[in-house]
Structure 1
Amino acid sequence: MEHKKSDEIAAFEAEKAVYSDFKVHVFSSSSELLERLHEKWSLVKKQPYPAMYSSVYGGIILDPAIMVIPIDDHMVHRGHGVFDTSIIYDGYLYELDVHLDRFLRSASKAKISSPFPRSTLRSILIQMTAVSKCKKGTLRFWLSAGPGNFLLSPAGCPTSAFYAVVIDDDFSQCKEGVKVITSTIPMKSPLFATTKNVNYLPNVLSVMEAEEKGAFASIWVDNEGYIAEGPNVNVAFITQDKELILPSFDKILSGCTALRLLQLAPKLVEQGQLKSVKIADLTVQEAKRAAEMTYVGSTLPLLPIVMWDEQSIGDGKVGELTMALSDLLWEDMVAGDGKQRVPVPYEKLAT
């Protein structure tokens, strides 16, 4: 009996030691918590997020300490949300309308209704960018099933939620080639792959797998052996016959930049630099015989790929046609027509 009692005392003392080793702080008020958050952000030399919008708050937030979303938001604990991104360059929003249209198509597939009409969403994004005073970076925006509970169904959520943030970020035209691998992480099924949703765990694991093998990122191949896409970018090939080929969008996300590339690339056909431009299925074997290969994405706009699974693409150097295509996209972003570039009224909405 005494032996049992001594064991209980020893267990109690051990448990007590664990608790005494680490004392969890309890915030007595919201003002104390906000003070702590301000202390954290005061150590940051440059604020990376100059503005956020939240329909939960009902306005634009300039204080980074309160750029948060509720923990019971279904986008947080169930992944029930969609998003999209537009580039901010030289005071213009590049392809805002194209991205916004895809955003709403994704929301429809995810069965999320917007709390605002399209025109209001667009106005919010432009106003927030203006107030942020950011002239170069990215604008990201999300639609969520909304906060309300921790159930699977969003039926109990009072309303959907719209969030957006301006990210102050410097980027430039990519001119150096990268190395990639074929991903062993299963790619998403067509329904989820063609919906730009927040469920990015396969994408994250795919990039981590590549980094562990000394590569920049990866390439997904579908279950029929055809080239699909990269973890958050499309991929394009230039054949030995100078044909530009992008994989079919049936099972992957139709990237806005990839679609714009298909619109601009015929200029090189007219100039005799390319033979043709098309969308087609490509096997891994066909793709690896390409003369040039590149990722296609918003902030790149093209990122040359010079090695795949330790095998050189073409001569293993950044190709001239890849850079010619990159120049077309970059020029379109910098000085394209009014349809592609939406001016931001910074002066009118300055705070």
Structure 2
Amino acid sequence: MGYSLLNDRIVADEEVVVNKEDRGYQFGDGIYEVIKVYNGQLFTADEHIDRFYLSAEKIRLTIPYTKHKLHQLLHELVEANEINNGHIYFQITRGATARNHIFPSADVAPVLTGAAVEASRPITNLENGVKATFVEDIRWLRCDIKSLNLLGAVLAKQEAFEKGCYEAILHRGETITEGSSTNVFGIKDGVLYTHPANNLILKGITRQVILTCAQEIDLPIKEQAMTKEQLLAMDEVIVASTTSEVTPVIEIDGQKINDGQVGLWTRKLQAQFATKIPAPITI
């Protein structure tokens, strides 16, 4: 039996039912987060929870639990499902009420749900690298909000999949923004480049971990937008997310990056990232 999060309770999976009037279902009116679990421990949970509350604030949704309470519930969810390595998905919607574009009254309670999944680290992708393709970024202009409105990302990811690629690298005109479910980095002449954390990208938690790792290994950072041409000319390219970690990109639309080999700086970043992963708890 699996267990899910439903508001402030851990319940059997079958107890979680979506109300047809839920605004998340009808409007995508809500936000979400994904937290990685390593060796039974939540990784960068505080940062993810902080961003969850920030996204809620940006869409004027009040979360009816403290950050401490939410953290406790997520920990209980991991324990109930006996997750060793995997991730938690959780979301909150503005609640269920008669369909109306206008926000519901204050007596309509938000709906919090969550699930925990066992999943291995993406070792093959980390070791060998992946292929990517360029896709026009057709999403809205508030990509800094981790909202449930992911249709633009879904369409881009599907296009990448149909081309035999792992990721779609999005661009507005000639300017690279991010991946369909990742942040994008380029390394050129010993400098790490990535798009500034503004409204056009999600300020990824793994992105921030990578920037910290870069500082620790003396890899200079420039938060500066890249063009498609500049990205193709990079010595190394990386896509990163909670579930992708530090994934090398070795080919974009048939053009090899670093002759199709994983670069040395990428290996150093991967190694430094690995030092952040919680060790197994010993008793």
TM-score normalized by the length of structure 1? 0.75
What is the percent sequence identity of the aligned residues?
24
1:160 partnered with 2:110: yes
CA deviation after TM superposition for structure 1 residue 281, in Å: 1.8
Structure (1 or 2) with the greater strand fraction: 2
Q: Which residue of 2 aligns with 1:144?
A: 93
Deviations 1:212-235 (A, max 9, x none): 222222111124x32110001101
Query: In 1, distance between residues paired with 2:182 and 2:17?
Result: 27
Distance 1:248 1:222 in 2: 14
Counterpart amino acid of residue 277 in structure 2: M
Tell me the residue number matched to 1:334: 278
1:84 partner SS: strand
- Please report how far the alpha carbon of residue 252 of structure 1 lies from its aligned counterpart in structure 2 after TM superposition: 0.6
TM-score by length of 2: 0.92
Q: For residues 139 and 268 of structure 2, what CA distance do their matches in structure 1 show?
A: 31
Residues 80, 198 of structure 1: 8 Å contact kept: yes
CA distance in 2, matches of 1:214, 1:185: 19
Decide which structure has the larger Cα Rg and report it: 1
Please tell me whether the aligned partners of residues 38 and 84 of structure 2 are also in contact (alpha carbons under 8 angstroms): yes
Partners in 1 of 2:137 and 2:196 — Cα distance?
20
Alignment counterpart, residue 248 of structure 1, candidates 189, 196, 207: 196
Q: Which amino acid aligns with 1:267?
A: E
Please list the CA deviations of residues 64-83 of structure 1 after superposition, one character each: whole Å capped at 9, or x if unmatched: 33333222111011100100
The alignment partner of 1:155 has SS state of coil
Q: Which residue identity does 2:4 align to in structure 1?
A: M
Alignment correspondent of 1:231 = 180
CA shift, 1:150, in A, is 2.1
Q: What's the counterpart of residue 338 of structure 1? A: none
User: 1:59: which partner in 2?
Assistant: 9
Partner residue of 1:117? 66
Which of 247, 250, 270 lines up with 1:303 in the alignment?
A: 247
For 1:179, the equivalent position in structure 2 comes to 131
Report the counterpart of residue 285 of structure 1 in structure 2. Answer: 229
Structure 2: any 5+ residue segments left out of the alignment?
Answer: none
Instruction: Determine whether 1:312 maps to 2:262.
Output: no
Question: What is the CA-CA distance between 1:282 and the residue it aligns to?
Answer: 1.4
Which one has the bigger helix percentage? 1
Residue of structure 1 equivalent to 2:30? 81
> Residue 80 of structure 2 aligns to a residue in which SS?
helix
CA deviation string 1:99-154 (max 9, x = no partner): 00001110111111112122221221122222222122111111110112222223
Q: Is the contact made by 1:187 and 1:220 (CA closer than 8 Å) also made in structure 2? A: no
Alignment partner, residue 119 of structure 2 = 169
1:53 counterpart letter in structure 2: L
- Match of 1:287, as an amino acid? L
Partners of 1:301 and 1:217 in 2: CA distance: 13
Query: What is the deviation of 1:284?
Result: 1.5
8 Å contact 1:54–1:163 — kept in the other structure?
yes
For 2:98 and 2:115, the matched residues in 1 are separated by: 24
CA separation of 1:187/1:313 partners in 2, compared to 1, >3 Å: closer, same or farther?
A: farther
